[in-house]
Chains A and B, each alone.
Chain A
Amino acid sequence: MANLQATTESKPVRALLIGLALIVLSLFLFLPLLAVFAEALRRGWEVFFASLTEDAARSAIKLTLLTAGIAVPLNTLFGLSAAWLVTKYRFKGRAFLISLIDLPFAVSPVIAGLVWIMIFGAKGWLPPSRMTELLAPLAALAAQAASNESIGGLFEGAAAWLADPKIVFAVPGIIIATVFVTFPFVARELIPLMESQGSDQEEAAVTLGAGGWRIFWRVTLPNIKWGLLYGVLLCNARAMGEFGAVSVVSGHIRGQTNTLPLHIEVLYNEYQFSAAFACATLLALLALLTLGLKSVVEQLSGPPQN
């Protein structure tokens, strides 16, 4: 035990440090979590459930799900493609490409929304008037299809949007802003993982005559599935919880362009604290679920490499 004594601290010091760390963590982690639920239930379960089922809350939940439902698959596809590219091949500019992928992490959420206004806003490169012009042929086609008696119903939504193709201060803006913000998550998880696994198995598959897609589905994907799942979870958590970027492009139209975080802000600013916190519990539960699944994934995939 003498050896152990030399490289650790005395018992009182250890107890003191553990105690201090516990205080820090409870102030910063447990107290906020507890507070979300305490505030949400302050006026009872009835108010709690009523706040979650009112129309504005429902449409906010729907829009949040829609946004994540589009942004997450898109960025998953990108993450897989980018990770494949930078780990299976060596080419000029590879290191630069990797740092470009990380770029959105260095951009303030507010700026991530602002950039889209610079493109699609009234004074941007593609203002609504120009979009209407550009999309006029498509709009005419869609209007024709929508007026068709048998299949018209399928095209009504598209026709309505194409007739007035708004991007910012409308749902498409919320989606592209979310795509921007959640862009690096999947790639970020996959690149170190695939780098550490090397390409030996894929090269062996090539010599055995397997094609590219087959190698991806049968060799690469089984090897990276847990890392991929974790990347998707993180991407999803951020997509559903993003606030700053969507706040800039949303236009705050209640029942139409409010995601769950924006709905929380509206309620909070109207002093409906219990309702705001009730909606916040949904996102807090999502965060807890993400952290829980992360631990499960880490255990399933064994101790992390490197």
Chain B
Amino acid sequence: MSKRRIIPGFGLSMGFTITYLSLIILLPLAALFLNAAGVGWAEWRSILGSPRIIAAARLTFGLSAVAAAVSVVLGLLVTWVLVRYHFPGKKLLDSMVDLPFALPTAVAGITLTAIYGKTGWIGCHIASAAAWIKTTWQPTGWLGDQVNSWADFGAAYSPLGIFIALTFIGFPFVVRTLQPVMEDLGHEIEEAAATLGAGRWTVFLRVILPLLTPALITGFTLAFARAIGEYGSVIFISGNLPMKTEILPLLIISQLEQFNFKAAAVIASGMLVVSFLLLFIINLLQRRLDWQNR
């Protein structure tokens, strides 16, 4: 570090950046963690072990994972079509993919509820299909409950609705991570595989997909991390039924409304630890990718 810095402004930019970062991000996060740390171990366990929180955690993490996985499939399809094929309106579609990023979550929430609820454009078909299934097969157990709920409310107020909202906000992450990688993919290896007699499907599975896997995993992780914390686009369509369609971020708010600051801090810290771990994994993957491309 003995080399003199040529461009002026190091002290000023360092000072401002660190001060601002500390005041806006680090200090508040530290306040949260210290609050949670002040709660004893036994209380941590009793808060995180309560049935309502376990149900919410299972719902949040489970549906986020399923939605991220479906986002990967949909994202792969959309990216493939956008990168490889030419058709009218492609440019418009490409720029529209970012809509879920740009559309405020509350707007997305009420709109998805309107579409997928019982009276909505798609929800009415879900409801009638569910009603038909109900009368023909009379499913019981968990599935029976779901079908009953779909028949009564469409996709709203059920895990299906939450899944739809989480997929909506998740799939642009996959497209935007995958797109640059797919654009850089040369045709040479595919040609080589074809000259060796591989069919198109084999080339996709054995040659293209392995090259895309790191980007797909990054996209999955980004969509998953976003889904865990998602609030606005979910709470309208979920209906927030305790033990059934309550997500973790909503539980934080309901703890706050009961002036239960400790519990809110504990749940939030738990969620943050998971999110930071995911971010850490993305960083590792990214570094690995950069190293591979070198």
Are A and B bound to each other?
Answer: yes
Binding site for B on A (CB under 8 A): 3, 6-10, 13-14, 17-18, 20-22, 24-25, 27-33, 35-36, 39, 77-78, 81-82, 84-85, 88-89, 91-92, 97, 99-111, 114-119, 121, 123-125, 176, 179-180, 183, 199, 202-203, 206, 211-212, 215-216, 234, 237, 240-244, 247-248, 261-262, 264-265, 268, 273, 276-277, 280, 283-284, 286-288, 290-292, 294-295, 306
Taking CB atoms, residues of chain B closer than 8 Å to A116 are: 28
Determine if B66 is an interface residue (Cβ-Cβ < 8 Å). no
Cβ contacts under 8 Å, A77 to chain B: 16
Query: How far, in whole Å, are A19 and B203 apart by their CA atoms in the complex?
Result: 22
What is the bound-complex CA distance between A103 and B28, given in angstroms?
12
Known contacts A7-B187, A33-B99, A103-B25; A28 and B171 CB within 8 A of each other: yes
Separation in Å of the A61 CB from the closest CB of chain B? 14
Interface centre among A101, A240, A292, A295 (most CB of B within 10 A): A295
User: A212–B12 Cα gap in the complex (Å)?
Assistant: 10
A111 to B261, CA, bound (A): 12
Which B residues from 67 to 126 make CB contacts under 8 A with A?
74, 77-78, 80-82, 84-85, 87, 91, 93, 95-108, 110-112, 114-115, 120-122
Complex CA gap A111/B194 in Å reads 52
Chain B residues, CB < 8 A from A108: 228-231, 249, 268, 271, 275
The answer to whether A117 and B256 touch across the interface, beta carbons within 8 angstroms, is: yes
Residues of B within 8 A of A21 (CB): 77-78, 80-82
Q: Answer whether residue B130 sits at the interface, using C-beta atoms and an 8 A cutoff.
A: no
Residues of A within 8 A of B78 (CB): 21, 24-25
A73-B104 Cα distance, complex, nearest whole Å: 20
Question: Is B211's CB within 8 Å of the partner chain A?
Answer: no
Assembly CA distance A64 to B14 (angstroms): 31
Instruction: Out of A104, A211, A237, A261, name the residue touching B8 (CB < 8 Å).
Output: A211
Q: List 23 A-B residue pairs with CB atoms under 8 Å apart, sorted by A's residue number.
A: A17-B85, A21-B81, A32-B168, A36-B111, A39-B111, A82-B21, A85-B14, A89-B7, A102-B279, A109-B249, A110-B231, A110-B253, A110-B268, A111-B268, A118-B31, A212-B7, A244-B232, A248-B256, A277-B110, A284-B103, A287-B102, A287-B104, A290-B102
With the chains together, A240 CA to B104 CA distance in Å?
Answer: 8
Least CB distance from B92 to A in Å reads 9
Measured in the bound complex, the distance between the Cα atoms of B95 and A175 in whole Å is 30
Choice from A20, A114, A262, A264 contacting B32 with Cβ under 8 Å: A114
Digitize B256-282: 1 where CB-to-A-CB distance is under 8 Å, 0 elsewhere.
100001001100100110011011000
Asked, given contacts A118-B265, A202-B7, whether A81 binds B279 with beta carbons under 8 Å apart, the answer is no
Contacts of A35 in B (CB 8 A): 111, 114-115, 120-121
B106 contacts A241, C-beta separation under 8 Å: yes
Question: What's the Cα separation between A153 and B120 when bound, in Å?
Answer: 53
A287 to B99 alpha-carbon distance, docked (Å)? 7
Which B residues are in CB contact (< 8 Å) with A100? 21, 25-26
Please give the distance in Å from B241's CB to the nearest CB on chain A. Answer: 16
Q: Within 8 Å CB of A176, what residues of B?
A: 24
Cα(A183)–Cα(B275), bound, Å: 17
* A115 to B31 Cα, complex, angstroms: 7
With A24-B74, A35-B121, A211-B8 known, 15 other A-B pairs at CB within 8 A are: A6-B190, A10-B200, A18-B81, A18-B85, A105-B279, A106-B225, A107-B29, A111-B268, A114-B268, A115-B31, A176-B24, A183-B25, A202-B7, A283-B103, A287-B104
